[in-house]
C-alpha cells in the first residue's frame, strides 16, 4: 500500500487541472474531457440568471464557440485538499477574448482525482 503525501495529491490535482487549461487554450474539449467525471456539472450566471447543467454543455461550447488562444494565461490560485475531497480555483486571462474565474470541486474516485463540478464567473471588463 502506498501512502500518498499532500504533495503527491496536490501534483495529481494540478495535472488534472492542467488538462482543463490546455483544452481551453487549444479550444479542444477532447483534451479537457478526461479531467471531468461523466456525471460532472457546470454552472454560472448568464444574463443575470443561473445557467448550466451537465458538463457536456462545456464541451459543446469549447468546440463550437471558442477559438485556439495561444496567448491565454491561467493561474491555479489555490488547491485545498482533505482526504478524498478537494476544491480549486483557476483564474484565466484572454481565453477566446474572455477572462474567467473557475471554481472546481474534485473527488478521488477509484484512486484518481476527477472534477465533479465547476462553477464560473465571467469578468466583464473589471
User: Model's pTM, two decimal places?
Assistant: 0.93
How do residues 42-83 score in pLDDT, each as one tens digit?
999 999 999 999 999 999 999 999 999 999 999 999 999 999
Indicate the length of the chain as a whole number: 126
Instruction: In whole angstroms, give the CA distance from residue 15 to residue 44.
Output: 24
Please state the rounded mean pLDDT for residues 38-42. Answer: 98
| Domain 6-122, CATH class in plain words | alpha beta
Which residue in this structure is represented by grid cell 500518498? 4
| Domain positions in the chain | 6-122
Amino acid at each position: 500500500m502506498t501512502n500518498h503525501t499532500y504533495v503527491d495529491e496536490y501534483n495529481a490535482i494540478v495535472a488534472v487541472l492542467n488538462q482543463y487549461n490546455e483544452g481551453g487554450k487549444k479550444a479542444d474539449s477532447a483534451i479537457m474531457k478526461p479531467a471531468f467525471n461523466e456525471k460532472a456539472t457546470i454552472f454560472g450566471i448568464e444574463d443575470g440568471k443561473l445557467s448550466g447543467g451537465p458538463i457536456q454543455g462545456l464541451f459543446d461550447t469549447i468546440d463550437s464557440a471558442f477559438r485556439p488562444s495561444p496567448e491565454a494565461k491561467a493561474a491555479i490560485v489555490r488547491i485545498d485538499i482533505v482526504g478524498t475531497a478537494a476544491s480549486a480555483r483557476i483564474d484565466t486571462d484572454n481565453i477566446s477574448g474572455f477572462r474567467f474565474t473557475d471554481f472546481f470541486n474534485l473527488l478521488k474516485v477509484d484512486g484518481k482525482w476527477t472534477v465533479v463540478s465547476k462553477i464560473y464567473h465571467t469578468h466583464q471588463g473589471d
